[in-house]
Amino acid sequence: MTPKRIAIVFALVLCLGAAARCAAQPYTMIMPTPKGLSMGSMDALLKDMGAAIEKKTGIKVNVVNLEFDYLDTPVEDTLAKMNARKVDLAMVFGIDYVRYAAQNKINAVPLFAISMFGRSSYDVCLFTRKEDNIKSAKDLKGKVWGGVKTKNARFIMHLDGIDQPMSGFFSKLVYMPEENVVTLLDALLDKKIDVFTVPNYQVNMTRNTNKKYNQVADVSCREYEHNWFIVYNKDTVSKENAAKIKEAFMAAHKDPQFAQFKFLLTAVKGRFVGMEIKDLANTVKIVKYLQKYKWDQEELAFIKKNFKR
């Protein structure tokens, strides 16, 4: 699963546990959801979760499912609606949040985040076959890269001393959707590609269930984006209600009322943690790299060439 798809699973857990106004009208929460993600199996669990949270906090929410694909900008669109007081709570991704905040006023305040494998941020790595004995990005000249998020690879390449377009460094770029990391892992072990670049926790989760993927090496891992987080609208959500939400979810990993979702947290050794703007410091650095070297534009061109709506 991609970071965004993993985030969606947790957002489904959270979405009915958001804050409600003291009046009868509930808050609106935006939940960005990749198109094609099946939600039907979660309906009953969400209903149970919503009832548990309402019982615990007296809070209600209306959830709006915002479907998106690779060419959409769901976080930016949602933050604009928060500025217009049309949205009260939302799940956002670090790079998108920081980039929007750098260019616009912003009413969305970080409330809490997900910690995975004991961390509030994740590394991106070059994943290669152990037998190839790759030590850094420099050893991958002329190899075959697979995936979608070329900017992740460019970030590692840059820190390893390589500053040239992906198409000029690798012999071939294979467009492979990253929703299911097993597809990438199998392509790597089957020697259809030589490297791919995703957050390390995706591969770690899969290794925990299938030891054959221990044949895969993590190369040049670097700290990257802050994990996804929940924001609240400071103009429409009271600090009191925001505090209620935070308190409830900070204890979710040990709360019996969240028991039906324990397997989700267990899969990433996760829990919910508080966060502040200052916790986005490394994500700010990543955004500056993207702006300076225009890696986003390179990725967008690659996606437009290969992704068809």
pLDDT of residue 37: 52
Q: Which of residues 63 and 153 earns the better pLDDT score?
A: 153
pLDDT value at 16 more than 70: no
pLDDT of residue 17: 43
pLDDT of residue 192: 98
pLDDT of residue 1: 58
User: What pTM was estimated for this model as a whole?
Assistant: 0.85
Looking at the domain 121-225+291-306, which fold is it?
D-Maltodextrin-Binding Protein; domain 2 (3.40.190)
In CATH terms, are 3-118+227-275 and 121-225+291-306 the same topology? yes
CATH number listed for the domain at residues 3-118+227-275: 3.40.190.10
The model's pLDDT over 169-218, given as tens digits with 9 standing for 90+, comes to 999 999 998 878 999 999 999 999 999 999 998 898 888 889 999 999 99
* Angle between helix 94-103 and 281-293 (nearest 10): 70
Domains of the chain, by residue range, sit at: 3-118+227-275, 121-225+291-306
**Residue 228 vs residues 127, 168, 183, 237: alpha-carbon distances, Å:** 23, 32, 23, 20
pLDDT value at 239 more than 60: yes
pLDDT of residue 145: 98
Using pLDDT thresholds of 50, 70 and 90, give the confidence band for residue 163: very high
Residue 287 tokens read as 């955004």
Mean per-residue pLDDT, 272-300: 95
pLDDT of residue 26: 84
